[in-house]
């Protein structure tokens, strides 16, 4: 399904009923998004995806994103890992459990599943998911060689992360929209 401005709905966080737009609430999305938003009110935008490299990493016994590439450094200290797969998150308790695992982190790796990102804006949250997929891709490709991974020293990781924390996500998001429009893709947000 393509997400567009016209198919977004507003949902009452108490009742779970649609209050804006047309459509019904997807229970799995509502249970997780509501729980995260209630636990962390600064999470104004919550996105959940099944990107191939992140999802593949989540299929491993140890799904940790290692600090082996420049892109990885941006996520130092931002990722929470859920090691339990309980099937589809279709109830309030599972949403609360996942929100508790995430706590104040921005990224939730969900075992045998996908990833959830929580951020302050759409641009920031989208950017985090975009670069997270790249970081996971580099790690998975390096792991495929069977050779030992070379981790970046923590002091360099921190320095690189600080530099990345100053990134202007609105400029990145606008550039991505322009790229998609130039290719003739529909992008309504």
Angle formed by the axes of helices 122-144 and 169-182, nearest 10°: 80
pLDDT digits (tens, 9 = 90+) for 5-28: 677 788 887 788 888 888 888 888
With 0-12 / 13-18 / 19 or more C-beta atoms within 10 angstroms meaning exposed / middle / buried, residue 19 is exposed
pLDDT of residue 8: 77
pLDDT of residue 185: 58
pLDDT of residue 56: 97
pLDDT digits (tens, 9 = 90+) for 127-140: 999 999 999 999 99
The C-alpha atoms of residue 121 and residue 109 are separated, in whole angstroms, by 20
Helix (H) or strand (E) holding 100: helix 92-102
The C-alpha atoms of residue 70 and residue 67 are separated, in whole angstroms, by 8
Contact 141, 90 (CB under 8 A): no
5-173 topology per CATH: L-fuculose-1-phosphate Aldolase (3.40.225)
pTM of the entire predicted model:
0.86
pLDDT of residue 186: 56
Rg of the chain taking only CA atoms, in angstroms: 17
pLDDT of residue 1: 54
pLDDT of residue 79: 98
Which of 133, 130, 129, 122 is CA-nearest to residue 43?
122
Question: Which residues of the chain are modeled with pLDDT < 50?
Answer: 187-189
């Amino acid at each position: 399904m393509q997400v567009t401005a016209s198919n977004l709905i507003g949902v009452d966080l108490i009742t779970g009923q649609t209050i804006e737009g047309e459509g019904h609430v997807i229970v799995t999305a509502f249970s997780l998004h509501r729980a995260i938003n209630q636990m962390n009110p600064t999470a104004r935008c919550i996105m959940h995806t099944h990107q191939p490299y992140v999802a593949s990493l989540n299929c491993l016994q140890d799904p940790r994103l290692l600090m082996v590439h420049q892109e990885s450094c941006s996520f130092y200290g931002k990722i929470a890992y859920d090691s339990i797969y309980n099937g589809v998150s279709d109830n309030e308790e599972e949403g609360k459990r996942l929100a508790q695992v995430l706590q104040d982190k921005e990224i939730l790796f969900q075992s045998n599943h996908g990833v959830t990102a929580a951020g302050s804006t759409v641009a920031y949250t989208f950017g985090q998911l975009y670069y997270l997929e790249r970081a996971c891709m580099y790690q998975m490709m390096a792991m495929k060689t069977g050779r030992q991974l070379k981790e970046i020293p923590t002091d360099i990781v921190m320095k690189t992360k600080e530099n990345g924390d100053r990134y202007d996500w609105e400029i990145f998001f606008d550039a991505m929209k322009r790229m998609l429009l130039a290719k003739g893709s529909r992008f309504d947000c």
